[in-house]
A = this chain, B = another copy of it.
Amino acid sequence: PDAAAFDAAAARNAALAKPPGALGRLEDIALWYAGWAGSARPQLHRPQVIVFAGNHGVTAREVSAFPSEVTAQMVVNFEAGGAAINQLARTFGARIDVHALDLARPTADFTQGAAMEEDDLLTALRVGWEAVDPGAGLIVAGEMGIGNTTAAAAMAAALFGGNPRDWVGRGTGVDDAGLGRKAAAVAAGLACHRGHLLDPIEVLRRLGGREIAAMAGAIAAARVARIPVLLDGFICTAAAAVLERLSPGALDHALAGHCSDEPGHGRLLAALGKEPLLQMGLRLGEGTGAALAIGLVQGALACHSGMATFDEARVSTG
């Protein structure tokens, strides 16, 4: 981030006509954004929501309440403007881009072998990287992929340890037996790839999926372009965690947009030291939780950049 812009924004914040700290986290958001945007008085221009979709071989383990064909059906729905993320992107003035990654060719079942070959992984990372609009003022990366909460749980367990049961949740709504199958799949994946999971990129390749790799690519590209990011749910955060494990501090340009109802998400955010902006019980993915938080960033920047100072407003200080 730009230290001069951050410092100038902090000085402006201290001069605004309000008691010190009275805007709470809105002040933190504004200073964080100012540092990354390189402007002491930034505006939020052109937020971009990017939704990546992929299919997962681990669905053979019956880990989802929905069939794999739903991934492609939802991509059609995204393109027709009918999904939740379309409505939220429109509400907060964000453009939305949808990238379906080789849906007809699911990843391999990670309980049996690596989810992706190296060239699959690289292609997916590049799709994500290139999806970022260099002129965007904020990036939300979302996903759709039947089976991908199981992949994210396996990645989280590989990256941060703990029992598979700690990381799995009901996803789209599996019952107790389904939850048991998810934990068993995670355990089988960790066993299958034992000895190869110290490298975070190998965790992504062996246990992840194309849409997860694409989100990691997008978040990394945003970092290089100094574009602030709002993290979405469990799967997005698992993708982001790969970057943090590769290079601590790699997510300093990202805030956690929300904490989902998927129990592993709160655990993962705590491991990353990220306090979520929203906790609204969402568990849909698509980027919906982060998109909802765009409004908070808009509000924070509007206050920071639009308010009068004590001097301008001729308000007495305390």
Contacts and interface: CB of A to CB of B under 8 A. Distances in A.
A65 B295 contact: no
A16 B83 CA distance: 9
Interface string A274-288: 000110111110001
What bracket does the count of chain A residues touching chain B fall in?
Answer: 35 or more
B74 A315 contact: yes
A247 interface: no
A177 interface: no
A303 B92 CA distance: 12
A24 B265 CA distance: 15
Contact of A299 (B24, B88, B173, B283): B88
Nearest to A44: B91
A69 interface: yes
Contacts of A261: 24
A311 to B, nearest CB: 11
Given A19-B284, A292-B299, 15 more contacts: A23-B84, A73-B315, A74-B313, A76-B313, A77-B308, A82-B307, A82-B308, A83-B307, A87-B303, A87-B306, A90-B302, A91-B298, A277-B280, A288-B303, A292-B295
